[in-house]
Amino acid sequence: MWLLFAVAAPVVTRAWVCGSSSSSSSSSCPAASSRGAVRLQAVEPSVPVAINGGDPWVGWRVTAEELEELADAATATIKGRPVMKQFHPRRSWLWRQWHGTIVRSVLQREVKLNVMIAAVAVASLSPCSEALKPVENLWALAQTLVAFVLSFFLSQTYAVWRSVYSVSRQVQGKLGDLGLIVATHAERDADGRYTPRAQALLDTWARYARLFNMLFYASVTRRFAPLATPKGLRALRRRGAILEDEVQLLIKTTSWHQTVAAWIGTMITSAAVDGTIVGGNPASYQCSAVMTRLRACYARMSDELSGRMPLAYTHLVQLFVDALCLAAPLALIGPLGPVGAVAGTGFVTLFYAGVLALAKMFLDPFDNEDFGGRSGIRLEADTLVQEVNALTRRWSTSAVRVPSAVLAPNLSEARVFRDNFDVAAAMRAIPSNNNVTNFDDALYDTHNLPTPNVTLRILKQ
């Protein structure tokens, strides 16, 4: 009977947890109930659940109001919240926290259920506690094994979460590198301002970079998935993020963010050919190198999410933890007594099930399964998109006009030297330098001016 109970309890627990999760999600989002129903019906997912929650049609299940709100968030430049939940490292502050903690997630479900199961088991088995001595010994041995396996599993899942965060920042960094190259190599007039065609290039590049980033996160997050639909593109067009002819071109393709990346590379290459980007082939080569590194970065994201962890590994760890928690009252009733066994089961469940829940949350970094957001684990996709929106605008406006020293550094350096030059000190330095043949060489060797001829000409003015 107890063997049957031990086998059935994890199933009951999982069904109870899923039911409570889906009901809570339904109250927060009108489309969440249908998505939750689809996830529960999918016995064996056929698509990467860490990308779209196991529902390839999630982007189409959105109302007009939700789509407009999403488009506003995707085109905003002011960050609404940090990229992840922040904290103070002080012990007193951490102990006072409840929302966004793993204790809140586990205590309300697994701990309560296992404590109730333990109470029933203790009430039934108290008279024969001495006969459970072998179970106590076996449980003590299994506890060490489960602790080792669980700690290693946690480190592996955190590595997945950290890798996803790193890829997100690398994509931002590569877009910033590209913006710096384009901004510094764009054509300028004699006054140091961008020429009209160079300014148009920078504006178009910034818009394409923002569009690429939006569509990239639409391909890897359930939050922005509605943007990767014809309705989503038209919502972006109404906000100036994309033009009508570009919408028609994207609809005919299958990989929208990759198509926009190809537009960016082609535009920069054409600008280098017609002189809008100065520097010729070297500048074009630099941009091409950054684009290929950008492609390698954003391609890693879907790879990390779709190959986050093998099913067999996660399944085995789940069995270990469930078996340890369910057997806890049988093993603890002898040394701790009935009350201690119930309380001990709660503590064992809190820590072991808590670590396992934390590990599984790390495997859902963008909360695509309504799992990673329970305890503040998720990465805020809104913030990652809005940071790039602000970044691209900085590159197109920060160097619209530059100082004269930037355009003629040698002449500017010589003028500064002329204003602070001590002729007597330079003349005294001539005898100590065996390589000096004239006054001009003395100035160059002693004060490291860019060119002797420029220095002498400035001093004679």
Q: What is the pLDDT of residues 100-148, one digit of tens each?
A: 888 888 888 889 898 998 899 888 877 676 777 888 889 999 999 999 9
The two counts, helices (H) then strands (E), for the chain are: 21, 0
- Shortest CA distance to 396 belongs to which of 169, 239, 207, 214? 207
Question: CA–CA separation, 70 vs 63, rounded Å?
Answer: 10
Q: Stretch 205-228: mean pLDDT, rounded? A: 94
Token representation of residue 154: 């946690």
User: How far, CA to CA in Å, does 166 sit from each of 212, 309, 384?
Assistant: 18, 18, 12
**Contact between 380 and 84 (Cβ < 8 Å):** yes
Say what the pLDDT of residue 418 is.
54
Q: pTM for the complete prediction?
A: 0.77
Say what the pLDDT of residue 336 is.
87
- Shortest CA distance to 298 belongs to which of 159, 167, 161, 389? 167
Say what the pLDDT of residue 14 is.
41
Q: What is the DSSP track for 336-366?
A: HHHHHHHHHHHHHIIIIIHHHHHHHHHT-TT
**Contact between 59 and 217 (Cβ < 8 Å):** no
Chain segment 437-460, per-residue pLDDT in tens: 454 444 444 444 444 444 444 444
Coil vs helix vs strand at 432? coil
Say what the pLDDT of residue 49 is.
74
Chain segment 387-431, per-residue pLDDT in tens: 999 999 888 787 777 777 777 665 555 455 555 555 555 555 555
Sign of dihedral through CA atoms 43, 47, 48, 53?
A: negative
User: How far, CA to CA in Å, does 426 sit from each of 151, 167, 418, 431, 452?
Assistant: 69, 55, 12, 10, 13
Say what the pLDDT of residue 11 is.
39
Coil vs helix vs strand at 259? helix
Coil vs helix vs strand at 372? coil
Q: How confident is the model at residue 4 (pLDDT cuts 50, 70, 90)?
A: very low
Say what the pLDDT of residue 7 is.
40
Token representation of residue 44: 């064996």
Domain coordinates in residue numbering, the chain: 66-402, 406-460
Chain segment 14-54, per-residue pLDDT in tens: 444 344 443 333 333 434 434 443 444 445 666 677 777 66
Say what the pLDDT of residue 372 is.
59
Which amino acid is residue 5, in one-letter code? F
Question: CA–CA separation, 281 vs 50, rounded Å?
Answer: 41
Chain segment 280-303, per-residue pLDDT in tens: 788 888 999 999 999 999 999 999
- Which of the pair, 152 or 429, is modelled with greater confidence? 152
Question: CA–CA separation, 452 vs 416, rounded Å?
Answer: 15
Coil vs helix vs strand at 385? helix
Sign of dihedral through CA atoms 383, 384, 385, 386?
A: positive
Say what the pLDDT of residue 426 is.
53
Say what the pLDDT of residue 423 is.
52
Question: CA–CA separation, 368 vs 305, rounded Å?
Answer: 10
Question: CA–CA separation, 128 vs 136, rounded Å?
Answer: 13
Q: Stretch 210-228: mean pLDDT, rounded? A: 94
- Shortest CA distance to 170 belongs to which of 279, 300, 265? 300
The single residue listed with the structure tokens 């100036």 is 240
Say what the pLDDT of residue 270 is.
93
Which amino acid is residue 435, in one-letter code? N
Q: What is the mean pLDDT of the chain?
A: 80
Question: CA–CA separation, 385 vs 275, rounded Å?
Answer: 31
Q: What is the DSSP track for 5-44?
A: HHHHHHHHHHHHHHHHHHHHHHHH-TTHHHHHHHHHH-SS
Measured N-to-C along each axis, helices 196-220 and 230-237 cross at an angle, to the nearest 10 degrees, of 150
Which amino acid is residue 392, in one-letter code? T
